Amino acid sequence: MSLKGRDFLTLKELSAEEVHLILARAADMKGRQAGDGILAGRLVALLFSKPSTRTRVSFEAGVRQLGGSTIFLDQESVQVGRGETLADTGRVLSLYTDALVVRTYRQSDLDELAGAASVPVINALTDDYHPCQILADLLTFREIWGSLAGLRLAYVGDGNNVANTLVVGCAITGIELRLACPRGYEVAEERLMEARSRWSAKIAATVDPLEAVEGADAIYTDTWASMGQEDEREARLRIFRPYQVNTELLRAADRSAKVFHCLPAHRGEEISAEVMDGPQSAVWQQAENRLHAQKGLLSLLMP
């Protein structure tokens, strides 16, 4: 089984065996901070239209730990903003680099660039999907529970790019997923239908957070207003207030349930500080695993 030369755009392009291969490689690499040399002489371009802390640093650190180097290109550093097509950008960057890590807004833009590039393209976040985050989440679940199949995960909050990709990741690996989102902010029904038909996914959707977390092994949340939604912030704060992950909600889950947040967190909004810093929080383990999951991914994709 080889992933070399492949793109990583949504997580849907991988089989269950390929996902587990990446997780196994990531677990093997964890703790080996330098000296592997797998990417020696390789250059990875980070093409970011959105600001980033964890994604940029974890990719830059991961590439360097594997012996490679990176070049960071923000929106002001490339000619796309002055009329060059994404396809032409992908073709040109493929002549100079060995992989492209792209963080942008529209999934269609990423797809256009990947269609023209001749090197692996990795989705570092779009408005629709965040597959690198979900790889790190699956790695964290694997560390805590061992087996993924049969795990009961409740996602509480906005039906955003993280929720969309959790649907895929859980479906592929056999995790039972319960989504609790306010009306009008749900994961699109067609995404749930695809997961159920393609992978026989066990997915339930509700507007009641207590119903979703009842007996859950894990509770996952994310910010209520993502980048680009700042003008909706006040309205979202009112709508999402009952969806805060706090001590009361945690009590409704399994007694040993763990809490997850992909960060950045707005303490006192989608998650209380008490829960985020409490003994059942796996947030920092989850954040660290961004580095290891991406190292595993890069080592397998790079030709």
Q: pLDDT tens, 1-29?
A: 799 999 999 999 999 999 999 999 999 99
pLDDT score at 75:
78
Same domain (yes/no): 283, 295: no
The mean pLDDT of 61-88, rounded to a whole number, is: 85
Same domain (yes/no): 283, 294: no
pLDDT score at 127:
96
7 domain residue, yes or no:
no
If one compares 136 and 32, the residue with the highest pLDDT of the two is 136
Residue 190 pLDDT > 70: yes
Same domain (yes/no): 212, 187: yes
pLDDT digits (tens, 9 = 90+) for 121-165: 999 999 999 999 999 999 999 999 999 999 999 999 999 999 999
- 152, 261, 290, 292: which is the annotated catalytic residue? 290
- 7, 137, 158, 222: which is the annotated catalytic residue? 222
Same domain (yes/no): 122, 149: no
Which of the residue ranges 99-108, 117-126, 196-205, 219-228 would you say has the lowest mean pLDDT? 219-228
If one compares 270 and 233, the residue with the highest pLDDT of the two is 270
Same domain (yes/no): 139, 276: yes
- 25, 42, 130, 236: which is the annotated catalytic residue? 130
The phi, psi pair for 178, rounded to 5°, reads -120, 125
Q: Is 56 a catalytic residue?
A: no
Continuous segment of H or E residues that includes residue 279: none
Which of the residue ranges 39-43, 213-217, 224-228 would you say has the lowest mean pLDDT? 224-228
Supply the range of the domain harboring residue 100.
Answer: 16-129+290-301
190 domain residue, yes or no:
yes
Residue 300, CA atoms < 13 Å, CB-side half-sphere:
25
Q: Is 292 a catalytic residue?
A: no
Percent of the chain with pLDDT over 90: 88
Domain harbouring 235, CATH code: 3.40.50.1370
Mean pLDDT of the chain: 95
| Closest among 120, 128, 76 to 100, alpha carbons compared | 120
pLDDT score at 21:
98
pLDDT score at 31:
75
pLDDT score at 144:
98
The amino acid at residue 152 is R
Q: Is 116 exposed, middle or buried (0-12, 13-18, 19+ CB in 10 A)?
A: middle
Residue 33 pLDDT > 70: no
Q: Is 67 exposed, middle or buried (0-12, 13-18, 19+ CB in 10 A)?
A: middle
Q: Is 170 a catalytic residue?
A: no
Residue 227 pLDDT > 70: no
- 25, 42, 56, 103: which is the annotated catalytic residue? 103
Q: Distance of CA 69 to CAs 41, 45, 113, Å?
A: 8, 9, 22
Same domain (yes/no): 188, 264: yes
What gap in Å lies between CA 29 and CA 128, rounded to an integer?
Answer: 29
Same domain (yes/no): 107, 165: no
pLDDT score at 279:
98
- Give exposure, 256-291, as e/b (b: 16+ Cβ within 10 Å): ebbbbbbbebeeebbbbeebbeeebbbbeebbbbbb
| Count of Cβ atoms closer than 10 Å to residue 42 Cβ | 18
Same domain (yes/no): 276, 137: yes
Token match 């999907």: residue? Answer: 129
| Count of Cβ atoms closer than 10 Å to residue 203 Cβ | 20
- 42, 127, 262, 286: which is the annotated catalytic residue? 262
Q: Is 261 a catalytic residue?
A: no
The model's confidence at residue 82, banded by pLDDT at 50, 70 and 90, is low
The mean pLDDT of 222-239, rounded to a whole number, is: 85
> How many structural domains are present in the chain?
2
- 42, 56, 133, 137: which is the annotated catalytic residue? 133
Strands 69-74 vs 99-103: parallel, antiparallel or unpaired: unpaired
pLDDT score at 231:
81
Q: Is 266 a catalytic residue?
A: no
pLDDT score at 299:
95
Q: Is 130 a catalytic residue?
A: yes
